[in-house]
Chains A and B, each alone.
Chain A
Amino acid sequence: MSVPAGGTPAPLFERGYRFRFVLKLCLAFAAGAAVLHGILYLVLSRPLTGDYAGVFHALRNLSVFLRPVIATSVLVYVLLVCGATGALCVYGLYKVAGPLYRMERVMEEYCAGTPTRPVAFRAGDQIEPLALAFNAWIGKLRQERQRWIGTMEDAERVYLRDEATCRARMEAALQEIVRDLSRYR
């Protein structure tokens, strides 16, 4: 899909990158569950003291206070895990968003007519085949351009002979270039 003939296609995502992302995600969820359990344990592990009536009232009151306790602990869990996952999305997906951003800048420069250098991503960046495909695209266009210039220069070489021959060669070169350019649609 993405690379030069003969080579094995580079994957868009490295297996290690996917594994690390999923692992961090699982760790964030596990840490959140541990915190949630810790909060509920702290609240619920207070000893039941006093006589029979005291314990009865403590349990009755607990069922009343259970709603705000659970709501607060779930809120803490949600905030904690959402924060960790958000950070993971920002830092982890930067390996995809960064290359996309750089490619966008390269596209803009290309459209503005600025000389384009081959795109190279940083170590650890994902979607590398995109850079390879873009470089292949530019490379193909440059190769074609060199061929057209070569055709014109070949025609110019006979300039020192007679004028009619030279003109005929140049016109033939132009026709050849027109044929080549007609391939593009």
Chain B
Amino acid sequence: MKLSTARPERKFRRKIRYINPRFQGGAALAFAAMIVAGGILFGGLVYRDLGRAVWAAAMQGHYLMENPYEIVRDALLWHLAGLSATVTCLGVIVFLFLVRAIRRGIGRVIEMLLAVEGGDLSTPTDARGLTELARFGERVDAARAHTLSRIVALREEAASLAASGLPPEEFRSRWDGFKRKIRMVAP
């Protein structure tokens, strides 16, 4: 038997990574705000301290240094270490807050999905934490409400059919219709 050596045609698809501007962009903005604040604070403090150090060195009169960096090195390195430590700590805190918010929101959605075991399809998900998760929770609520409305309709139809006292042919036809409708639950 001759095997085909032709490779299956692959379509090139650009993978879009930026799919949720509110979520991914919002997180980026939170980090950016923190970095900008850190930068401004650093700039202000460095300008104040380096300016003072250079001015003091100019007024001292004994110029033993080879370049201005020698005057400001210690202060600059301390400020850089402070900037790095502050921004890193704040960055980690922002990330942990993000993780916590996602965990709270998704945890609530999961809890509500698993509540079907007890027959609960109507308690609002009320996923808090991030706007996007609240919106996702509303979608889950919509799916649950859709299921509940179908189930309520089936319940009413089953009750009316059971108490209908219809002639056998008509009963049979409605019975078959009811069965078809049941098959539409969670298709």
Contacts and interface: CB of A to CB of B under 8 A. Distances in A.
Given A2-B110, A25-B95, A52-B63, A116 B186 contact: yes
B88 to A, nearest CB: 5
Nearest to A63: B54
B187 A178 contact: no
Contacts of B132: 100
B48 to A, nearest CB: 10
A173 to B, nearest CB: 9
A185 interface: yes
A3 to B, nearest CB: 9
Chain B, interface residues (CB within 8 Å), range: 35 or more
B49 to A, nearest CB: 10
Interface string B62-84: 01011111011000110010011
Given A46-B67, A78-B39, A107-B139, A59 B18 contact: no
Tell me if A's interface is mostly helix, strand, loop or mixed.
helix
Main DSSP-derived SS at the B contact region: helix
Contacts of A101: 19-20
Contacts of B32: 82, 85-86
Contacts of B39: 74-75, 77-78
Interface string A29-48: 11011001100110011111
Contacts of B116: 137, 140-141
Nearest to B166: A167
A167 B171 contact: yes
Given A48-B66, A56-B58, A182 B43 contact: no
Contacts of A13: 99, 102-103
Interface of B: 17-20, 23-25, 27-28, 31-32, 35-36, 39-40, 42-43, 46-47, 50-51, 54-55, 57-58, 63, 65-69, 71-72, 76-77, 80, 83-84, 87-88, 91-92, 95, 99, 102-103, 106-107, 109-111, 113-114, 116-117, 119-122, 132, 136, 139-140, 142-143, 146-148, 151-152, 154-155, 158-159, 161-162, 168, 171, 175, 178-179, 182-187
Given A44-B68, A74-B43, 16 more contacts: A13-B102, A25-B88, A25-B91, A29-B91, A56-B58, A63-B58, A75-B39, A85-B32, A85-B91, A89-B28, A93-B24, A93-B27, A94-B19, A140-B117, A177-B154, A181-B155
